[in-house]
Structure 1
Amino acid sequence: MTVLDIRKVGDPVLRRVAEPVTVFDAELHKLVGDLNETLEQSRGAGLAAPQIGVSLRLFAINPDLPGNDARLDHLINPGLEFPDDDEQDGPEGCLSIPGIYLDTKRRMNVVARGLTKHGDPVQIVGAGLLARCIQHETDHLDGVLFIDRQDAAGQERILATLREAAWADAQLKVSPH
């Protein structure tokens, strides 16, 4: 497996809606391995394929996240359901936006259904941090970044900060999503 570069905010791949995975072959198995290796090296909670430049509906999650009883480390073509209206508001960061952590409102509980790299159906029921991670990574598959979930004033402050960062693209914009 290979540790890959993580794309930073401003890269157009992060704003595209990713394509569904349709082929479950050795190339997909390698991609899942690369995602997991890159995630482990970065010490993050999750990493979506667009963050390594691959516009496919796939993400890796840290199997040691609290509540991940299945120890699942990836999900392909996820669909999310919310069993209740409970919300959480807490700090969130992103490997594609290093050094920025913001309180972000998310649903407290989620049921995520998708596929494994073998094409087998799987379901993850998550609460708290696991639910936050699943929602965050699924947002990446839809071209949405967590900064898009801030109010307008917060988005402008973040964009101003990011434009000053040495690694950031000067053409940063908030998604209309």
Structure 2
Amino acid sequence: MAILDIVIAPDPVLKTVCEPVKEVNDEIRELLKNMLETMYKAPGIGLAACQVGVTKRVIVVDVSDDKEENQPYCMVNPEITWESDEYSVYQEGCLSLPEQYADVERPAAIKLRYLDETGKQIELEADGLLATCIQHEIDHLDGVLFVDHISKLKRGMIMKKLKKVVAAKAAG
């Protein structure tokens, strides 16, 4: 397993619509393992493949409170099949937008289907933080960042801060 480099906005790979995975094979399983290790080390609760520079429809999520016993979801080609009419608001952050947070409103509950690391199709109902996190990560697969859900003014302020962070690291 390996810790992968996390792509920081405004890198254009984060605005890329990711390609469906044709087959869950050893390469995809290795990617999932590396993404989990990267997410836990960051630390974060979700990570999409494009955030590590891979434009495949792959995400990992773990919102468990007990970090002694992780409860990860590894999702290949996740697809939301239903979302509730009720909405909830969570303060979201993102490993690709370090130290930036904003309140985002999303459907409170969802149903989705995806392939697990063995290639088996899974159907899942999620609500609360898990539903929010999954929606956030699936957005990444469609080239959408959480800041795309907030006002243009707030988004502009956050992106300006991130450009300074990236420039400072480059000058390093």
- TM-score, L = length of structure 1: 0.86
Of residues 53-62 and 21-30 in structure 1, the stretch that sits farther from structure 2 once superposed is 21-30
Tell me the distance in 2 between the aligned counterparts of 1:127 and 1:34: 26
Matched pairs, number: 165
Alignment partner of 1:161: what SS? helix
Do residues 43 (structure 1) and 69 (structure 2) align? no
Pick closer, same or farther for the CA change 1:154–1:91 going to 2, 3 Å: same
Uncovered stretches (5+) of structure 2, i.e. residues with no partner: none
Tell me the distance in 2 between the aligned counterparts of 1:61 and 1:104: 18
Tell me the distance in 2 between the aligned counterparts of 1:156 and 1:163: 11
Richer in helix (by share): 2
Residue 164 of structure 1 deviates from its aligned partner by 2.9
Residue 12 of structure 1 deviates from its aligned partner by 1.5
Residue 65 of structure 1 deviates from its aligned partner by 6.0
- TM-score, L = length of structure 2: 0.89
Residue 82 of structure 1 deviates from its aligned partner by 3.1
Pick closer, same or farther for the CA change 1:52–1:24 going to 2, 3 Å: same
Of residues 45-54 and 72-81 in structure 1, the stretch that sits farther from structure 2 once superposed is 72-81
> What is the percentage of aligned positions where both structures have the same residue?
37
2:157 maps to a residue whose letter is R
The 5-angstrom pairing of residues 75-154 of structure 1 reads: 75-154=75-154
Of residues 94-103 and 116-125 in structure 1, the stretch that sits farther from structure 2 once superposed is 116-125
Pick closer, same or farther for the CA change 1:6–1:118 going to 2, 3 Å: same
Check the 8 A contact 1:91/1:104 in 2, yes or no: yes
